[in-house]
């Protein structure tokens, strides 16, 4: 502990340090560091200064527990909130960040608002959990907006490896799920490309990115949405990957390159030409009920060019977090039946059920080129007998990101090595 941290821990120490930093701007960063490290409960005194003119200051509150944190209007350099526990209501309205910001694996227990915030560089929300409502209305992302998988990639000589054992991710502690032990960090390009693998940000309540501006890549691959997801009026200038089929892109606009090979749009929305609006494809029924699921299946029978996108959309619906007793989730069962029936007739499909919640899943007799069940939670009785899944994964790398079978499982072949079985396996 340095002298500033020691001073912050003394009675009246934070107030004294702030007075000194007011008089000597050279002390502001070390004083901010000391408050973040030793007295996060006194954060309000620091945020008041960050609004009043302390420019160029960064904060590192990784692993801290913050209650009703209010960074509204704060002007910051960079910020680190990896593995931070946000309790109560959290506000970043109108905050500005001149450098990169990370919220990797943090959890917002209540509502979180970033309305009007400005991120000049990258903003990483990998595997962040939003358990209340999340508001990103009018946010400007100047760099990469990362809501994809939660693993950080480091070079083998990165000093961050020395701190790995100190990082304690927040337990999920959510219904119908078991923590599949996602890795905190991996070597760069060690087991997956940057857009693959792992679970992304998870939104338990409504989330809005209405009128947000994405100057760089907007990556929502493997993000999970349990309620309404609104991107109405958003502007995208770089790569964009969002596959959640019920996301609202009304009035959204994209100026990216349609040949980038990586951008992905929800089923029912048309990939725009460069500089064009994102519009509804009315030949595809909206996924808002069992009847439309059946129509979607018939559409795939008639149009082979849409089959993979339909399978991807069905998988996205099954990746929606289950917030109630899964045994009573008939829409989930119906989606599973449509997916399974499609895989029995459509060859060459890829199935992405990473972190999905599945109930009495029956894939017997199904075929697929690739099937990803990393971190999936299987409830009831699961059947794979007679399936022809050429390349199948039930974990990211060894025991990391393992799938869990909470009931019986029927394979007819040797079961996967790294999955967790809590019922009978045949």
Distance CA 353, CA 357 (A): 8
**pLDDT at site 26:** 93
Same structural domain for residues 255 and 312?
no
- Whether residues 268 and 320 fall in one domain: no
In the chain, how many domains are there?
A: 2
Rounded Cα distance between 257 and 387, Å, is 38
128: number of Cβ within 10 Å: 28
pLDDT tens, position by position, 103-136: 999 999 999 999 999 999 999 999 999 999 999 9
Question: pLDDT tens digits, residue range 335-364?
Answer: 999 999 999 999 999 999 999 999 999 999
**Mean pLDDT, the chain, as a whole number?**
91
Identify any residues that bridge with 370 across adjacent strands, giving them in sequence order: 350, 391
Whether 253 and 205 share a structural domain: yes
Asked whether residue 166 is domain-assigned, the answer is: yes
Is 129 in the same domain as 212? yes
Q: What is the pLDDT of residue 189?
A: 65
Same domain, 120 and 199: yes
Residue 238 included in any domain: yes
Residue ending a domain, choose from 280, 313, 336:
280
**How many of the other CB atoms lie within 10 Å of CB of 8?**
24
Domain match, 109 and 80 both = yes
Tens digits of residue pLDDT in 20-56: 989 999 999 999 998 899 888 889 999 999 998 898 8
What is the per-residue burial (b if ≥16 Cβ within 10 Å, else e) of 367-389?
bbeebbbbbbbbbbbbbbeebeb
160 lies in which domain range? Answer: 58-280
Co-location of 299 and 226 in the same domain: no
Q: Which pLDDT does position 368 carry in this prediction?
A: 97
Q: Is residue 118 part of a domain?
A: yes
Detail the DSSP E strand segments found in 68-124: 75-76, 79-80, 85-87, 90-91, 96-97, 101-102, 107-108, 112-113, 118-119, 123-124
130 near 106, Cβ under 8 Å? no
- Shared domain check, 299 and 180: no
- pTM listed for this prediction: 0.94
Whether 51 is covered by a domain: the verdict is: no
327 & 233 share domain: no
Q: Do 114 and 136 meet the contact criterion of CB atoms below 8 Å apart?
A: yes
Confidence of residue 5 (pLDDT cuts 50, 70, 90): confident
The pLDDT, as a whole number, for residue 185 is 83
One domain for residues 246 and 375: no
Residues 130 and 151: their CA atoms lie apart, in Å, by: 17
If pLDDT is split at 50, 70 and 90, which confidence band does 1 have? very low
Q: What band does 196 get if pLDDT is binned at 50, 70 and 90?
A: low
Out of 98-112, 236-250, 270-284, which region has the weakest mean confidence (pLDDT)? 270-284
pLDDT of 150 higher than 80:
no
Chain-centroid distance of CA 145 in Å reads: 11
- The pLDDT of residue 24 is 92
* For range 148-167, the mean pLDDT: 85
Q: What is the pLDDT of residue 208?
A: 98
Same domain, 223 and 344: no
Q: In this structure, is residue 32 part of a structural domain?
A: no
Residue at which a domain ends, from 280, 315, 334? 280
**Inter-residue contact 28 to 55 (CB < 8 Å):** no
Q: Coil, helix or strand for 42?
A: helix
Note whether residue 10 is domain-resident. no
Q: Is residue 50 part of a domain?
A: no
A 10 A CB-CB count for 165 gives 8
Same domain? 123 vs 174: yes
Domain boundary among 280, 309, 325: 280
- Tell me which residue of 85, 86, 78, 128 sits closest to 103, measured CA to CA: 128
């Amino acid at each position: 502990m340095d002298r500033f941290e020691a001073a912050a821990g003394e009675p009246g120490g934070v107030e004294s340090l702030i007075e000194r930093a007011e008089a000597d701007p050279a002390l502001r960063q070390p004083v901010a560091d000391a408050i973040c490290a030793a007295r996060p409960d006194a954060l309000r005194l620091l945020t008041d200064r960050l609004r009043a003119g302390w420019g160029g200051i960064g904060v590192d509150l990784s692993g801290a527990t913050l209650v009703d944190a209010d960074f509204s209007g704060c002007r910051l350099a960079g910020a680190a909130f990896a593995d931070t526990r946000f309790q109560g209501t959290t506000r970043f309205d109108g905050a500005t960040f001149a450098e990169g910001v990370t919220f990797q694996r943090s959890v917002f227990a209540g509502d979180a608002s970033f309305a009007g915030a400005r991120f000049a560089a990258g903003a990483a929300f990998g595997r962040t959990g939003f358990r209340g409502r999340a508001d990103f209305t009018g946010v400007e992302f100047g760099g990469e907006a990362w809501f994809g998988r939660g693993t950080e990639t480091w070079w083998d000589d990165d000093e961050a490896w020395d701190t790995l054992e100190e990082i304690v991710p927040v337990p999920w502690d959510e219904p119908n799920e078991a923590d599949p032990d996602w890795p905190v960090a991996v070597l760069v390009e060690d087991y997956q490309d940057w857009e693959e693998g792992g679970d992304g940000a998870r939104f338990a309540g409504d989330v809005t990115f209405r009128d947000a501006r994405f100057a760089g890549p907007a990556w929502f691959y493997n993000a999970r949405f349990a309620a309404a997801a609104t991107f109405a009026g958003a502007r995208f200038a770089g790569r964009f990957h969002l596959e959640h089929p019920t996301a609202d892109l009304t009035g959204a606009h994209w100026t990216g390159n349609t040949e980038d090979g990586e951008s992905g749009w929800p089923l029912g929305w048309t990939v725009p030409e460069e500089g064009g609006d994102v519009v509804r494809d009315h030949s595809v029924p909206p996924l808002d009920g069992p009847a439309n699921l059946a129509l979607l299946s018939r559409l795939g029978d008639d149009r082979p060019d849409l089959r993979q996108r339909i399978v991807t959309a069905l998988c996205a619906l099954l990746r929606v977090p289950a917030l109630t007793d899964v045994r009573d989730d008939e829409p989930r069962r119906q989606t599973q039946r449509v997916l399974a029936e499609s895989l029995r007739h459509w060859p060459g499909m890829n199935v992405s059920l990473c972190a999905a919640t599945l109930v009495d899943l029956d894939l017997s007799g199904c075929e697929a080129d690739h099937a990803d069940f990393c971190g999936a939670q299987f409830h009831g009785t699961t059947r794979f007998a007679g399936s022809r899944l050429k390349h199948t994964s039930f974990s990211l790398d060894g025991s990391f990101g393992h799938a869990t079978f909470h009931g019986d499982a029927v394979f007819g072949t040797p079961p996967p090595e790294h999955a967790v079985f809590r019922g009978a396996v045949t």
